[in-house]
Amino acid sequence: MAVATGNSFASRFGVHIAVLVFVAIWTIPTLGILVSSLRDKNQIIASGWWNSFASSTQTEAGRLPAASTQVEKDGKFVLEGNIFGDGAKRNISAFGVKSAAPTQYPAGTSADLGDGEILQLNEDGSFVMQSPKAFEGDRGQRVYYASSAPPKFTTENYRTVLFSEGIGRSFMNSLTVTIPATVIPILIAAFAAYALAWMRFPGRALLIAVIIGLLVVPLQMSLIPLLKLYNGVGAFFGMPSKTYLGIWLAHTGFGLPFAIYLLRSYIAGLPREIMESARIDGASDFEIFVKIVLPLSFPVLASFAIFQFLWVWNDLLVAMVFLGTEADQIVLTAKLNALLGSRGGDWEILTTSAFVTIIVPLIVFFSLQRYFVRGLLAGSVKGG
């Protein structure tokens, strides 16, 4: 679509800028959680993720050593050392001894703490504390300081989330739900789609209309009756009503209208001559379907598989109704929702968990985008 207008330099430049702005708005949110998930958890709350490559300033607390380490010099009792016991390199900008005023004194100055006690804390963390009287007690003086730490990136959050927050287990549960729920509907839908496209029988038009109608029926209509049905069946057989089998079948049922619709419109578009020449050669409908239609339909089967995979993986509603919330059944989306409640402010947990839940769809999406777009176009443009 080469429109000849708007080709002046200014307007072309404007188009580039406009698209750049859109792309920025659409990618920055995802980038935010990716970057945050790799940051040190103290830094996440100390500075915005867009500043993660700059040093961050945070207020910390430390303790001077106990009285037993004091030495007597020129009639004064002295404590010396470095507040960073771990040898970490950080720059202290200010310090204090009261939690209400943690940055009362600039680094390198001497603070008068009363009773002749003097504390000096330097930028590198070294300190000198002097007092005319001997220090007492096992616990040293509490010191607060504002330090700037260099940017610190870590995979620690992923380790925590996968192995101690239960996200790893939920990941397996999601896979357990998704793969069978993607594979099972394909063959069932393909046979039905072939019959609706190429076989003549009374009631066919009505069936097609019903399926198109079912395409838009809200899931909410199915939940309560199915919940009752599952509870009834479970009670009848003395089994739990929340099972993987139950959710596999539910996703199969909810995915079928779209599957049949998508496959039917594709299969109906296959060339008539191929079907007819096969029929003249004596092939039955079953043989035509298996030997001709199925191999030719590969692209649309792939499209549907991607749709169903993404839809089941990303689903929260069906999983919350038909699966339990225990560790052995909770899927990623439900787990993430639970973490939002229980770990509300722990952004290192939330951003990392969110990234784990979206990584599989993103990989599927990027590697198979061609099929996905094709399915999208066939699914919505043709019949609507």
Partner 1 sequence: MAAQIFSAIFVIIVGVGGCVAYFWGANKLVDLIFPSRGVAGAAAIDNLRRQGLVRPWLFVGPAMIILTIYLIYPVVETLRLSFLDRGGVNFVGLANYEWAFGDREFRNSILNNIVWLAVVPAACTFLGLIIAVLTDKIWWGTIAKSLIFLPLAISFVGASVIWKFIYEYRGEGQTQIGILNAVIQHFGGQPQVWISLPFWNNFFLMVILIWIQTGFAMVILSSALRGIPEETLEAAVIDGANPFQIFWKIMVPQIWGTIAVVWTTITILVLKVFDIVLTMTNGQWNSQVLANLMFDWMFRGGGDFGRGATIAIIIMIAVIPIMVWNIRQANKETGGH
- Beta bridge partners, 333, equal none
Report the DSSP pairing between strands 56-63 and 91-96.
unpaired
Where does this chain touch partner 1 (CB under 8 A) — which range of 61-69, 83-91, 139-147, 173-181?
173-181
User: Alpha-carbon distance 99 to 102, whole Å?
Assistant: 5
Cβ(58)–Cβ(43) under 8 Å?
Answer: yes
The residue range among 83-91, 159-167, 291-299, 333-341 that interacts with partner 1, by the rule CB under 8 A, is: 333-341
CB of 127 to partner 1, least distance (A): 27
Stretch that binds partner 1, among 60-68, 105-113, 153-161, 197-205 (CB under 8 A): 197-205
Q: How far is the CB of 159 from partner 1 (least distance, A)?
A: 19
Using CA atoms, how far residue 156 sits from 52, 90, 367, in Å, is 16, 21, 28
Q: Which residue in 207, 270, 283, 296 binds partner 1 (CB under 8 A)?
A: 207
Judged by CB under 8 A, the residue of 257, 322, 330, 371 near partner 1 is 257
Among 154, 285, 292, 324, binds partner 1 (CB under 8 A): 285
99 binds partner 1 (CB under 8 A): no
CA distances from 249 to 181, 182, 223, 326, 377 (A): 7, 11, 13, 20, 27
DSSP annotation string for 222-236: HHHHHHHHHHHHHHH
- Using CB under 8 A as the binding rule, the residues of this chain from 55 to 74 that contact partner 1 are none
Which phi and psi angles does 289 have, rounded to 5°? -60, -50
Q: Which residue, 134 or 199, has its beta carbon nearer to partner 1?
A: 199
CB 303 within 8 A of CB 370: no
Can you tell me which of 67, 118, 162, 268 binds partner 1, judged by CB under 8 A?
268
Minimum separation from the CB atom of position 86 to partner 1 (A)? 24
Q: How far apart are the first and last CA of the chain?
A: 25
In whole angstroms, how close is the CB of 103 to partner 1 at the nearest point?
Answer: 14
Min. distance of Cβ 154 from partner 1 in angstroms?
A: 17
Interface residues for partner 1 in 133-172 (CB under 8 A)? Answer: 169, 172
Residue 204 and residue 7: Cα distance in Å, rounded? 53
Burial of 251 (0-12, 13-18, 19+ CB in 10 A): buried
Q: Binding string to partner 1 for residues 5 to 34, with x set by CB under 8 A, is what?
A: xx----xx--xx-xx--xx--xxxxx-xx-
120 binds partner 1 (CB under 8 A): no
Q: Binding residue for partner 1 (CB under 8 A) from 83, 119, 358, 371?
A: 358
The whole-angstrom separation of Cα 228 and Cα 4 is 62
CB of 20 to partner 1, least distance (A): 8
State which residue, 67 or 364, has the beta carbon closest to partner 1: 364
| Binding of partner 1 by 375 (CB under 8 A) | no
DSSP string, 90-136: -EEEEEESBTTBTT-EETTSEEEEETTEEEEE-TTSEEEEEESSPP-
3 or 71: whose CB is closer to partner 1? 3
Q: Does 301 bind partner 1 (CB under 8 A)?
A: no
Phi-psi region of 87 (alpha: psi -120 to 50; beta: other; left: phi over 0): left
Task: Write down the least CB distance from residue 165 to partner 1, Å.
Answer: 14
Q: Provide the phi-psi class of 116: left if phi over 0, else alpha when psi is between -120 and 50, else beta.
A: left
**In terms of CB distance, is 102 or 108 closer to partner 1?**
102
Please provide residue 263's backbone torsions phi and psi, each rounded to the nearest 5 degrees: -70, -40
Query: Which of 62, 143, 350, 371: binder of partner 1 (CB under 8 A)?
Result: 350
User: Among 82, 93, 120, 222, which residue sits at the site for partner 1 (rule: CB under 8 A)?
Assistant: 222
Residues 110 and 117: their CA atoms lie apart, in Å, by 10
Residue numbers 224-253 binding partner 1 by CB under 8 A: 224-229, 244-245, 248-250, 252-253
